[in-house]
A = this chain, B = another copy of it.
């Protein structure tokens, strides 16, 4: 009927307050679950699910299934850019944000995620492994490098046994406290087992928290030095048009 792109479609997606709240929350760059998004939007889980499927159908968000959780993120940088543009436009009006509430600090520091290490330490470990070129590639596809194989074997991990198992050796797992990837897969499991076996860390009795000992802290820091760029946040690339 009319010429040009359909802005009404996108507008209607953003136009609903619940969806706008969800998108605003996701603009933070962290992956959030449906339950969390429902909380920030102030609606029930059923309604949130409906909204999320609409947003996904509209290509604004993407989901990543992780066990029984579904982590939602903005589809790509373009979406973030567009939403931030709208927020900038609406700057002369008041705007509200909802932040994820604080959690148990011990859990945030180090905890068990199914069978591997998660939390700040887990993220830091993967960062270091990638920086040291033990593991190549970031994202869903991780692979052990040649030199990395030697380094892992030197730790006393039976790499052949890991490879033999049907499970993938290296895998990313999205961290709920850090909202960044940490190492999963059979190698991730083997490393956590190693820490526990060596007595570097102990599991808290009635919690998922993992408590590192003094020696464990030192050994961990020595084994997985903090890369200089590890604290760099994953912010949206605001590429500038030339």
Contact = CB atoms under 8 A, between A and B. Distances in A.
Specify how many copies of this chain sit in the oligomer.
Answer: 2
B82 A89 contact: yes
A7 interface: yes
Nearest to A106: B3
Contacts of A6: 20, 87, 90, 93-97
Contact of A97 (B2, B83, B97, B174): B2
Interface size class of A (residues with CB under 8 A): 35 or more
A124 B163 CA distance: 52
Contacts of A240: 138-140
Interface string A36-70: 00001010000000000000000100000000000
A5 B95 contact: yes
A1 interface: yes
A14 B8 contact: yes
A10 B95 contact: yes
8 contacts: A1-B40, A2-B24, A5-B20, A5-B91, A8-B20, A11-B12, A11-B14, A82-B89
